[in-house]
Chain A
Amino acid sequence: MMKKFIIFTIIAAVLSGLFFGCRTIQPELAKAYSDRGRNELIFDNYKGAIEDFTKAIEFNPEDTDLYVGRGLAYLKNGDNEAAKSDFDKAISLDPSMEKILKPLLSPAQTTSR
Chain B
Amino acid sequence: MCYLKRSVVTMFFALVFFIFCSVEVQAQAFPEPNCVREDGTPCFGGGTGPREPSPRPESNTNISIRHFNAGYEYEKAGNWTAAENEYRMAIQYYPDWGGYHFKLAYMLEKQGRYNEAIQSYKQKIALNPRDSTTYNSIGVILFNNLGRWEEAEKWFLAAHQRNPTDSLARDNLILTVKRIRQKVSDNTFNRAIDLMEKGERAKAESLWRKQLLVNPNDAGAWKNLGVTLAGQGRWLAAEAALREAVQLDPSNIRGLRIIMESAERGNALKELMAANEQGLMATKELNMEAMRGRAMSCFDFNEDATKTIRCAYSKDSSATIAFFAPRATSQLITGAPPELKKYPKFIELAKENKRLEKDYGEACDALQKLLKRKDSGQVSTGMTDVLVAEQKQKLSAIKNEKDFNEVKIQESYVDLGFRPPK
Contact = CB atoms under 8 A, between A and B. Distances in A.
Q: Answer yes or no: do A and B interact.
A: yes
A104 B356 CA distance: 14
Interface string B351-388: 00000100100110110011001000001111100110
B13 to A, nearest CB: 9
B398 A22 contact: no
A111 B401 contact: yes
Contacts of A110: 397
A29 B160 contact: yes
Interface residues of A, number: 50
A96 B181 CA distance: 30
- Most chain B CB inside 10 Å of its own CB: which residue of A10, A40, A103, A112: A103
Given A13-B7, A103-B363, A109-B397, A72 B381 contact: no
Given A72-B387, A99-B365, A43 B7 contact: no
Interface residues of B, number: 52
Given A17-B3, A104-B394, A112 B401 contact: yes
B362 A102 contact: yes
B6 A17 contact: yes
Contacts of A111: 397, 401
A108 B358 CA distance: 11
Interface stretch (B172-180, B236-244, B323-331): B172-180
A13 B14 contact: yes
Nearest to B10: A13
Contacts of B174: 28-29, 32
Contacts of B379: 65
A75 to B, nearest CB: 8
Interface of A is mostly: helix
Contacts of B369: 96, 99-100
A55 B379 CA distance: 19
Interface of B is mostly: helix
A9 B213 CA distance: 56
A23 interface: yes
A89 B381 CA distance: 17
B386 A41 contact: yes
B359 A108 contact: yes
A69 B185 CA distance: 19
A38 B177 contact: no
B392 to A, nearest CB: 12
Contacts of B10: 9, 12-13, 16-17
Contacts of B363: 103
B380 A103 contact: no
A113 B173 CA distance: 43
A60 to B, nearest CB: 10
12 contacts: A9-B15, A16-B7, A16-B10, A17-B7, A26-B170, A28-B174, A38-B382, A40-B184, A43-B214, A63-B380, A103-B359, A108-B397
Interface of B: 2-3, 6-8, 10-11, 14-15, 18, 157, 160, 164, 170, 173-174, 177-178, 180-181, 184-185, 188, 210, 213-214, 356, 359, 362-363, 365-366, 369-370, 373, 379-383, 386-387, 390-391, 393-394, 396-398, 400-401, 404
**6 nearest A-B pairs in the assembled complex, by CB-CB distance:** A22-B2, A112-B397, A13-B7, A36-B181, A32-B177, A17-B3
